[in-house]
Structures are given as C-alpha cells and as structure tokens.
Amino acid sequence: MPGDLLDLGTRRAIDVALHRLVKKGVLRRLARGIYDLPRTHPELGLLMPSADEVAKALAGRDRTRLQPSGAYAANLLGLSTQVPMKIVFLTDGPSKRVRIGKAEIILKRTTPKNMATAGTISGLIIQALRYLGRNAVDETIIAQLRSKLDTAGKNRLSRDAALAPAWIGVIMRQLAAE
C-alpha cells in the first residue's frame, strides 16, 4: 500500500514508482491502493492472490476489522466443500466490492454486535451456523466443529456464547462444555 511506503519518499514519488512498476509488469494493481507481486505457476500460469490476502490488505488499508461470513465461513470450517465465487466479509468499515480475477470480495458493513467476535473461532462459527440455518445443523456438523476446537477455542466459545443468536449460543455452550 502506498501509505506504508511514505518513509521512502514523497507520496507523489511513491505513486509514480508504483505506476511504473505496474506498467512494467513487476507489480499488479488489484484495487485502489492494493498491489501484489505476481506469482507464476509452471502449469497453471499466473496465480491470483487468495481472498484472505486481499481482504487483509483492504482491512489494513482502511484500518478496519473483518469477519468471514456466509458460505465462505462454512467453507473455512470444513462444513461445506463449496468455494463461493462471491466471498463475503462483515466489516466495521465501509461496504465495498472488489473483483479479483473471477472471484468477487464483498465487504458488508455490519453492526458492532456482529463485529464483537471478529477474527475469532467464535465469530467464524456464528457466521457459518447462521449461513447454514438452524434446520441444517445436525450431529455431523457438531462433530465437525468439535474437531476444530482446542482448549483455548472452547474457552472462547464459552465467553462469546452470549453474543450469538440464542439458538447458536446453545450450540456454542454445548461445544464448550465437551
């Protein structure tokens, strides 16, 4: 991000240097103020950065917090094999959409209560279960979540259960007690 390079020169000089590096193909501009060093795979060709890398760069640039949501949260926990083309993150910053290759990263502004567990296993579980819905949660899902938890994760679930919707709080307390 250009702002991170201000100790190397003026903002104008950094912008010109970044522009030249993009023009030469040394850097790739992903979004306003977000650049990456292109990587090439011998068989796959030019590789795109992961959604997490881009989302973290956007969060760092805007000084916001992010929480994976929806199908992406379920996928991260192994509750779904579906890899969504629209990856949704809840944020306490501005809403925006960023297209990276064929995928789209959507940052959705949400309430402080939804962001209270951002960046924790509790937040991931809350968002994944909310996406799946009460009727889809069965013993297989519970077992999958149980396998993802260590002692620290169980302690976190116990503390954060009050921040979840009531039906998810019951599941979180159950997982924390085991």
Q: How do the domains of the chain map onto residue ranges?
A: 1-47, 65-177
Give me the helices (H) in the chain, please. 11-24, 51-62, 70-76, 112-115, 121-132, 139-147, 151-160, 166-177
- At 80, list the tokens: 């779904």
Determine the length of the chain: 178
Most confident of 27-31, 73-77, 100-104: 73-77
Instruction: Tell me: pLDDT of 1 over 60.
Output: no
pLDDT tens column, 41-80: 888 888 888 888 888 888 877 788 999 998 999 999 999 8
User: What is the rounded distance in angstroms from the CA atom of residue 37 to the CA atom of residue 39?
Assistant: 6
* Distances, alpha carbon 18 to alpha carbons 9, 23, 37, 54, 61, in Å: 12, 9, 12, 18, 16
pLDDT tens column, 117-173: 988 999 999 999 999 999 988 899 998 998 888 889 889 999 999 899 999 999 999
- Which residues are CB-contacts of 24 (< 8 A; sequence separation ≥ 6)? none
User: What is the rounded distance in angstroms from the CA atom of residue 108 to the CA atom of residue 65?
Assistant: 11
Query: In the chain, what percentage of residues exceed pLDDT 70?
Result: 96
